[in-house]
Each structure stands twice: as C-alpha cells, then as structure tokens.
Structure 1
C-alpha cells in the first residue's frame, strides 16, 4: 500500500491576504519609483541624499514585490531579505529624520517612519515579515538548501 506525501492545506503565501500584501508592495514600488525618478531627473541638486534614498527604497519595494509574488524557497529568502532591509531602512531613516531633521533636504518615503504615507511604510514590513514567517516553505520546497 503506497502513501502519497502529505500536502499542506494552507494556501500559498501569494494567495488570499498574501495577494493584498503583494498589491500594496506593487503600489509602493510604482509610486516610489515614479517619484524618485522625477526627483532625480528634475531636482537632484536640491536634495541628492534624499532622492537617492528614495530611489533605493523604490528598488527595495520592487524586489520585495517580485519576490513576494513568486513561490518557492529562493523567492521566500529574497522576500525576507528585501522586507528586512525595508524595515531597517524605515526605522533607521525614521530615527535620523527625528534626531536630525536637517540631514535630509526633502522628504523620502521612509522619513519620519513614513508619516507622509500614513505610516504604511513602517507597518508594511512588519506585516510582510509576519506573513512570510508564517508561510515558510517546507523542506521539500528546498527551504533547507543553502
């Protein structure tokens, strides 16, 4: 009598609530990219550090979006790394903008912990990491490899 491997009854991480997370990341990726591109092309000399930081944030959001939308262990690891970088960025930049407001000549997505965006940039990586950790790939998916 043969048995088949047990399959998880849990939906993939990019379905259900995970799809909403991917959509929010996609919106932030698009808006941060468009804003930073405009600022870099038209106003770079005004606040180069802030605008380069906004471009970096856009890149992080793009990587997070793409990796969250995919399945598999490698995509999961990339997503955890991207969302982790995002959390460190928003907390670090948030602290810097509170402790030394003159450091950045203009706002970034992560300034004041994302206050200009309704604090979504602060909450999003926390929700994203919680979702990712609750939806770890199984060893059969290659999670234990490398």
Structure 2
C-alpha cells in the first residue's frame, strides 16, 4: 500500500506508449492462446512440441501483460521475466526452425523469429525491456 502512495498509477504504463505496449502484449496473449488452443484441440498429435510452444508463448505474453499492468517492484519483476523468457524463446525457437525445420512440422508463434506475426515476437521483448529500463524507479 505504501508503494502506491509513492508512485502514481500511471508509472507502470505511462500515458501512451506504455498502454500501447500493454495492448500489444494482450493481443498477442489472446492470439497465441487461441491459436494454441485450436491446434491442441484439433491436431495435437501432428506437432505437439510446436503447439505446446505456442501455448507457452501465450502464457509468457499474459505474464508480461500482468506485470506491465501491475507495476511496482513485483510487477516489474514479472514483466522483466516475461520479456526475457520471450526473447530467449523467440531466439531459440527461431534459430531451430531455420536450422532444423524437420523438428517443427508446424509453425509456432516464435517460428522463424515470429515471421507469421510480422516479426513482432522478436521485436516486442526488446521494446518491453527498453520500456522497463527507461521507466525504472529513480529515473525521473
């Protein structure tokens, strides 16, 4: 409660760019989750790893969204972890789908560095990390 008293509500998101960042994370959480849900429900046996990775991506986007929206020390840590896991995931999965395409019979959200989503999955964590760094406590 004391933390709220010393920090305005908008410090977690800012007025414009922070809210846009949150909106993009929420859209990606919903779209990746919907994609994974349909794939898991209808054709899980075809490419279980790919579909579970899409579900993981949705969970990571949701966690980052929650952290950005919550703010404060805990929210920042959750958002930071989400952005770092997302960046690692998109780089590892993106590299594997380029170098060993046979290992992924169907695309994930992070395949080919997010090419199916306009490469936003590879850029979004960088923007999120920059936002968290730029808006860290004590940088007024």
Normalized against structure 1, the TM-score is what?
0.85
Structure 1 gap segments, 5+ residues each:
1-6, 139-146
Quote the offset at 1:8 in angstroms.
8.1
Measure the CA separation in 2 of the matches of 1:75 and 1:101.
Answer: 36
| Aligned residue runs from structure 1 range 99-138, under 5 A | 99-138=99-138
Report the equivalent of 1:50: 50
Report the equivalent of 2:29: 29
Report the equivalent of 1:13: 12
- Over 3 Å off, 4+ runs: none
Residue aligned with 1:109, SS: coil
Report the equivalent of 1:67: 67
Quote the offset at 1:13 in angstroms.
3.5
Question: Could you list the per-position Cα deviations for residues 66-112 of structure 1 after superposition, in whole angstroms to 9, with x for gaps in the alignment?
Answer: 11111201100110011100000000000000110111110000000
Contact 2:12 2:72 in 1 (8 A): no
Aligned length: 131
Contact 1:30 1:58 in 2 (8 A): yes
Normalized against structure 2, the TM-score is what?
0.89
Residue aligned with 2:21, SS: helix
**Considering only aligned residues, what root-mean-square deviation do their CA atoms show, in Å?**
1.5
Measure the CA separation in 2 of the matches of 1:87 and 1:58.
Answer: 13
